[in-house]
Structure 1
Amino acid sequence: MPVVPTYFQQDMPVISRPDQAPVATPSTLPIRKHKFPAPKLRVHLDDIGHEGSSVFLSNIKGNEDLEAQVQNVLNLLYTHDSVRPDTRSVTFVFRQYQGLAYTTGTDLDDDHKEIHVNLAYLTRVKEPRHEILGVICHELVHCFQWNAEGTCNGGLIEGIADWVRLNAGLSATHWKQEAGGSWDGGYQHTGYFLEYLEQRFGTGTVRKINEGLRVGKYDEKKLFGGCCDGKEVEELWKEYGHELKKKEAEKAAEGGEKPTTTEEGKTIPTDTPPKHEDAQ
């Protein structure tokens, strides 16, 4: 087994709690096979006296944790020789506004990203280190993923971000698998579906989906057909639903319980930039 480089070893508390992990959370964290060049990382605390600033500083080692999440994202989405977006810097802006977190390009150019996180939100989470790293991981995906030249389905964009968060061992404790509605509902709803595709069609399937969004406009049939043995995504979604029901029935039978419908996980949208009048 490869030795994990020392720059990923941390003295901070562990970030995953197996007893609270969602059903589809991988049992082990990804092996970081390659150390990618990291962009310039900056942190801006808008109000050092805010309680949320204290929560961030008390739980996150900026010189280690932020780059570790960059490496998580890049190793899950790319190989060492993949073509990647030319993101040159990421600035984490912690401030108070009406929202949770979002990612945007800067006024300079889109190769310089800003991740905005609401300080007030940080004061309300039960496990701040785990949740902050999870939110940061999700938002960093938006700094490095392809998006079909801006035409990609938004649900898929958000689903890929939560798939990375899931595989980085940072899934939120309220997440649950379910197959109601459409496959592109986004966030963990789509993230778990992508994990199903990854397990069914082999390691690297989501990486292929991301690569398929690098050049050209969004073509759903071509994208999923090329990554999933010619199948259409709606067909795969139905098969995913049948698989979940089968597992539920098996679990109920083992426990002597009646099968129950899958509970829909609570989705907390994180990526809608606030309107100007909402900023504080």
Structure 2
Amino acid sequence: MSAAETDPTPSPLPIRSSSLKPCNANKEHDSEEDKLESATRPHPKPVLPKCKLRLICNNLDHEGSSIFFSNINPAVSLSQAVDAVLSILYQPTKTNKHIPPTRSVSLTLRSMGGVAYTTGSDIDDDHKEIHFSLDYIKDIASERQQQEIQGVLVHEMVHCWQWNGLGTCPGGLIEGIADFVRLKAGLSPPHWKKEAGGEWDAGYQHTGYFLEWIEESFGEGSVRKINATLQNKKYVEEEFWQRLFQKNVGELWAEYSNTLPKPKERDENTKADIDEEMKAHESNSVT
């Protein structure tokens, strides 16, 4: 390099235009946009919980097993039973903490007396077991097999998901809620009937129809409230019903009973129905 040569003069840095804003100038504006987008963006609706479903059949050679699998798809039927129970007894929330934390339900088909029963498993009470009698299934009339099996599954599934007043709820109310759900699911058998008299907590359909009347009289969701009230408190009969319906259960039962025909009236109605059927039959028989 010659002595006459000098270092090149560096080019000047570009001048920032005064129209340009600092990079954080829109920070507040962007934050508001984010909030608006978050508020308007569709969020997933709360959903009811699911649980693991299992099936155990202790004797595939049993006639009841053949009838069961001929009428029932276990995966579909058990899922439908869970959905029916949860949709009738609960409404979903973000946490679903108001729903029992049942983690699994195992259906065991086996030869035994009775119809079915539900219990907590040996693991812990969050794992439930439904035991269903193959002998009972074997004796179901052919035209009733599918409906009766599904009805029993729904009834027993209620016991996997209902509250029990910390173990103090009367058994009749527990069973009545189960049959109320079966009734609401459209799975009541033809021999069920509403009956006046007796005790309100006789259980099963006797109490189930009483709960149906409460639901109709005090509004949809009344039985859901009964179940919810049994979540964290012990059952004390007088205050329980007063708190929910401002009446004691005896008054409610009397009102319900008054809506039903008395035994004599039922007999007369039955006789009138029979007479009418006989007249219709005789009329149709005339050539």
In the superposition, the TM-score normalised over structure 2's length comes to: 0.73
Consecutive unaligned residues of structure 1, counting only runs of 5 or more, are 1-32, 259-280
Matching residue of 2:254: 238
C-alpha distance in 1 between matches for 2:47 and 2:53: 16
User: Are the counterparts in 1 of residues 48 and 91 from structure 2 also a CA contact under 8 Å?
Assistant: no
| Structure 2: 5+ residue stretches without partners | 1-44, 274-287
- AA aligned opposite 1:107: D
Q: Return the match for 1:72 from 80, 84, 87.
A: 84
The offset of 1:181, in angstroms, is: 0.8
Distance 1:197 1:40 in 2: 33
- Say if 1:85 and 1:144, in contact at 8 Å, map to a contact too: yes
Look at both structures and tell me which one has the larger radius of gyration over its CA atoms.
Answer: 2
Q: 2:106·2:130 contact (CA, 8 Å) conserved in 1?
A: yes
Q: Please give the alpha-carbon distance, in whole angstroms, between the structure 2 residues aligned to 1:92 and 1:225.
A: 38
Does 1:44 find its partner at 2:61? no
Q: CA offsets, 1:137-176, max 9 Å, x none?
A: 0000000000001110110000000000000000111101
- Return the letter of the residue paired with 1:136: L
Whole-Å separation in 2 of the counterparts to 1:155 and 1:64:
29
Secondary structure at the residue paired with 1:103? Answer: strand
> Residue type matched to 1:224 in 2?
W
1:168-196, Cα deviation, whole Å (9 max, x unpaired):
00011110100221000000000000000
Partner of 2:167: helix, strand, or coil? coil
Check conservation: 1:35, 1:71, Cα contact below 8 A: no
Query: How far apart, in 1, do the equivalents of 2:113 and 2:236 lie?
Result: 34
Residue of 56, 65, 88 corresponding to 1:53: 65
CA distance in 2, matches of 1:35, 1:172: 30
The CA RMSD over aligned residues, in Å, is: 2.4
**Farther off after superposition, 33-42 or 125-134:** 33-42
Q: Which amino acid aligns with 1:64?
A: V
| 2:170 corresponds to | 153
- Contact 2:55–2:106 (CA<8 Å) still a contact in 1? yes
Listed as ranges, the matches of 1:1-280 within 5 Å are: 36-81=48-93, 83-126=98-141, 127-228=144-245, 230-245=246-261, 257=272
CA–CA distance in structure 1, aligned partners of residues 106 and 50 of structure 2: 13
- By how many angstroms is 1:216 displaced? 1.7
Task: Give the C-alpha shift of residue 256 in structure 1.
Answer: 9.8
Which amino acid counterpart does residue 193 of structure 1 have in structure 2? F
CA contact (8 A) 2:196 2:261 kept: no
Larger RCO of the pair (alpha carbons < 8 Å, separation 6+): 1
Paired letter, 1:241: S
* Deviations 1:177-226, CA, capped at 9 Å, x for gaps: 00221000000000000000000000000000000100121111222122
